[in-house]
Amino acid sequence: MTRAATLAAIGLLCGAVAGQKADSEAWRKDPYTLGEPAALRRAGYVSLGPFPWGDDHDSAKIHAMMPEAKILWIETAHFRLGCALKEVEVPQDSKVRRRMAGELKQLKRVLPRVKPGARKLDRWLRAHLFARRLEQVYGEVLQLLGVKDSDFGTSGKHAATGPILGMKDKFPVLLFQKSSDLTRYATKSGQPPAGKPVPICVFFKERGGLLYATSAEIVHSSRDPDHRLDCHMRFATARNLLAGYKGFQHTLPPWLEDGVGNWVVRRFDPEQHEFSAMKDQDFSRTYPHQWEVFARRLTGNGFGRPSEVLFGIAKASEMTFHDHICGWSRIDFLQRIDGGKKLAAFLAAMKEPMPHAPGKLVEASAVMDAQRTALKRIFGWSYAELDSAWAAWANKTYPRK
């Protein structure tokens, strides 16, 4: 072979290798914004990564740890999202297709390349959908808390707290497709080994962010996997936002955290509900979704535990199915009093700093005492008086069947 022929062959080989590399990296290119600054601004995005994440790792390090997951990154005003979800088809059910078409039509307003009639949700489209959904939950929780962004940071009524609902940093969210990837990341984050894959919540003390990570396999649904994961994410995000409100300082009672989470989910879809944990939970069982009917029955059949007991439960794993219904219904009731102003004041009181020994966590008893005091000060009720008012309201408001 002549020298010229050899150089030509080398050139062809290098071109082929470069082409293969470009093809292997094509998944990084967002077809909806093309990474253009103007398109990102229109969508309400800050960047598509890389960006900061945890105390000892950023998004680039997460990718280096599991490149095969092909995580897509989006930073919004209040969240940093890592999304490794696979493409899914939109189910043929007409109700599901109408709902998805409506959501895609809304998304098209900020991402003009979106097709509302899409029959498949590609990986980037799912990432954009979840970025938008996260911000929707943020807005709904802000409304529930009776606050706005300007209340936090250097000015406003919560000036001593961080700028993101009281946190120093944005809320990181990781949505994996595979539970094995979730477990790998959980190990990296220092989480104790679990008997089976479970979602994780991690407070990054130095950066000041509060992470939630889960996988599609944990909440898989063959009927409508995207919607099922959407509801799961809304529940978990609402709980995380409440935990981070005015700064992450102590753990709230589970009836309150899960009650707020299910209040957000059931406003979005009254046929859905979630549990962070539940006593004797049967994962093979489909639990009934007619919670209004159940709550009405629980006011008088003796199976609904009184607030004195319900509000004193320290772990969600100690709450029964009926406890979760009663917790959600208490939030539903309190939120409808005076437009939710008193409930907002109650939630703010529960997030006030509480006394604790130096270097120690706030004792659960201090949280329970604060809860009783705030209920009496803001609503004027003892636990028994709350139960009486709630029962009368539920019997008048909720349907019999």
For residue 19, what are the contacts with CB-CB under 8 A and spacing of at least 6? none
Question: Are both 269 and 238 inside the same structural domain?
Answer: no
Could you tell me the two tokens for 168?
A: 């120093």
Amino acid at 217: E
**Dihedral over alpha carbons 24, 26, 28, 34 (to 10 degrees):** 170
Statement to judge: residues 244 and 255 lie in one domain: no
Give the pair of three-digit tokens for residue 352: 């006030």
Strands (E), 26-178: 72-75, 79-83, 88-89, 120-121, 171-176
| Residue span of the structural domain in which 276 resides | 251-401
Task: Tell me whether residue 143 is in a domain.
Answer: yes
51 and 32 inside one domain: yes
Residue 345 sits in the same domain as residue 357: yes
Q: What's the whole-model pTM score? A: 0.92
As a whole number, mean pLDDT of residues 149-153 equals 91
Q: 93-150: per-residue pLDDT in tens?
A: 999 999 999 999 999 999 999 999 999 999 999 999 999 999 999 999 999 999 999 9
Residues 311, 364, single domain; the answer is yes
Q: How confident is the model at residue 25 (pLDDT cuts 50, 70, 90)?
A: confident
Residue 223: the pLDDT is: 86
Task: List the beta strands (DSSP E) in 71-170.
Answer: 72-75, 79-83, 88-89, 120-121
15 belongs to a structural domain: no
Q: Compute the distance between CA of residue 295 and CA of residue 331 in angstroms, rounded to an integer.
A: 12
Residues 232 and 281 in one domain: no
Q: Same domain for 133 and 168?
A: yes
Phi, psi (deg, nearest 5) at residue 87: -65, 140
* CA 31 to centroid of chain Cα atoms: 26
* pLDDT class of 84 with cuts at 50, 70, 90: very high
The whole-number average pLDDT for the span 38-46 is 98
d(C-alpha 141, C-alpha 260), whole Å: 9
What's the number of domains the chain is made of? 2
Same domain, 305 and 322: yes
Q: Are residues 169 and 87 in the same domain?
A: yes
Q: How far apart are the first and last CA of the chain?
A: 86
Q: Model confidence at 158, in pLDDT bands (50, 70, 90)? A: confident
Q: Please, what's the b/e burial string for 124-146 (b: 16 or more CB within 10 A of its CB; e: otherwise)?
A: bbbbbbbbbbbbebbebbbebbb
* 3-class state of residue 213 by DSSP: strand
